[in-house]
Structure 1
Amino acid sequence: MKYAEVDSGAPVIAEVVSRVEDRFCTLRWRWPDGVQAVCIHKASAEAPEDGEQPPSGMKLYTREEYKANNGFRDRLDEIGLVAYTIYARLAGNGETLLVRQRDGANKTVVSAGKARIYYSVQHKKSLFSKLKTVHMTITAEVPVPKEVLCYVKKRDGHPASKEDGALFPFVQDFAPGRNQLPPIEVGKDDFIRIFFTDGRKYGLYYELVPE
């Protein structure tokens, strides 16, 4: 399978529209004359652009399937932004060619939504101790890399942001479900709160929710 570049006579995909509902994405587009099948590539919108060869893992979808289903319907198991690229498929002389449209008219980006990360921070102090114990729990809907989250310690008040105190990284990834972290000891006047390490970046994929 190889790419064919667009020329004056090449069939191209146009008028791609998308709709997301209940974790399913439906795609529709205008089929060029003479094209009986397309190849659909799905990837994170942040993934690098295609190289000189078509990517692996594409789905073959025929014109008959499109008519029977009134479009192409796909389940969204991902989070964040997802890009679909539809390639007109040409077959002949023993080889398959996919028409590469560098103008992006055959591509659409949809939002697969955000995964929720629930967090709990409990401060427990002993009556006569100068220290208190902090118990942190992370409950995630999906696997979460340790780089996504951090915790901040501040004296005499709860941190308002990740810059409002001393920042500490987490040392292991979070599995789906409830993650009970080992307790830590801090000063009796210290308070801890959990934040995204980069809210602008990770806020596209996750929602941080206090329990």
Structure 2
Amino acid sequence: MKYAEVDSSTPVITELSSRVEDRFCTLRWRWPDGVQAVCIHKASAEAPVDGDSPPAGMKLYTREEYKANNGYRDRLDDIGLVAYTIFARLAEHGDTMLVRQKDGDNRIVVSAGKARIYYSILQKKGLFSKQKTVHMTITAEVPVGRDVLCYVKKKGGYPSGKEDGVLFPFVQDFAAGKSSLPPIEIGKEDFVRIFFTDGRKYGLYYELVPE
């Protein structure tokens, strides 16, 4: 299987659209005349899209299947942004050829949703102590890497962001489910909050929810 040479007469996929509902994505597109099947590639939207050879792991989908199902329906098991690319499938001299469209009209990006990360922070202060003990708990719907979250300590009030105080990284990954972290000691005028290390990046994949 390889890419076909494309010119103005090559049949291409157009009017590609998506609809996401209940963790399922439905794709619809206009079939070019003469094309009876396509190959569908699914990958993270951050994955590279260029290459001299067609990507592996594609699904063959026929025009008859499309008509019977009123489109292509796929379950979204991932989180974050997912890219679908629909390649028109041609037969040429006994070889299977795929149409690579430089205009990008055969590629669409959908949001597969966000996994929730719940966190709780409990502070305990002794009657005559100059310090207080902080207990942090993370409850994640999916495994979360240690580089996703951090906690910030600020004197005199709760920090409003990761730059508003002293930032501390976490030293271990978080498994799916509840993780109780070792307690830490802070000054009695200090306050702690948990943030994403990169809100723009990780906010596409996770939702941080206080308990």
Give the shorter-chain TM-score range: over 0.9
Amino acid at match of 2:202: Y
User: In 2, Cα distance between the equivalents of 1:6 and 1:137?
Assistant: 55
Amino acid at match of 1:203: G
Q: Greater shift after overlay, 25-34 or 125-134?
A: 125-134
Amino acid at match of 2:39: C
Is 1:122 aligned to 2:122, yes or no? yes
User: In 2, Cα distance between the equivalents of 1:50 and 1:37?
Assistant: 22
Amino acid at match of 2:195: F
Q: Greater shift after overlay, 12-21 or 178-187?
A: 178-187
Structure 1 partner of 2:182: 182
Structure 1 partner of 2:85: 85
Structure 1 partner of 2:46: 46
User: If the length of structure 2 is used for normalisation, what is the TM-score?
Assistant: 0.96
Structure 1 partner of 2:76: 76
Superposition deviation, residue 9 in structure 1: 2.1
Aligned residues: 211
Q: Greater shift after overlay, 125-134 or 150-159?
A: 125-134
Superposition deviation, residue 33 in structure 1: 1.3
| Conserved? CA contact 1:87–1:98, under 8 Å | yes
Structure 2: segments with no counterpart, 5+ residues: none
Superposition deviation, residue 24 in structure 1: 0.5
Q: Secondary structure, in 3 states, of the residue corresponding to 1:68? A: helix
User: If the length of structure 1 is used for normalisation, what is the TM-score?
Assistant: 0.96
Q: What value does the CA root-mean-square deviation take over the aligned residues?
A: 1.2
Superposition deviation, residue 59 in structure 1: 0.8
Superposition deviation, residue 205 in structure 1: 1.5
Amino acid at match of 1:120: S
Structure 1 partner of 2:66: 66
| Conserved? CA contact 1:5–1:101, under 8 Å | no
Superposition deviation, residue 86 in structure 1: 0.1
Structure 2 partner of 1:210: 210
Cα distance, 1:160–1:71 mapped onto 2, change above 3 Å: same
User: In 1, Cα distance between the equivalents of 2:175 and 2:109?
Assistant: 28
User: In 2, Cα distance between the equivalents of 1:46 and 1:153?
Assistant: 33
Q: Greater shift after overlay, 10-19 or 88-97?
A: 88-97
User: In 1, Cα distance between the equivalents of 2:203 and 2:181?
Assistant: 23
User: In 1, Cα distance between the equivalents of 2:178 and 2:93?
Assistant: 56
Structure 1: segments with no counterpart, 5+ residues: none
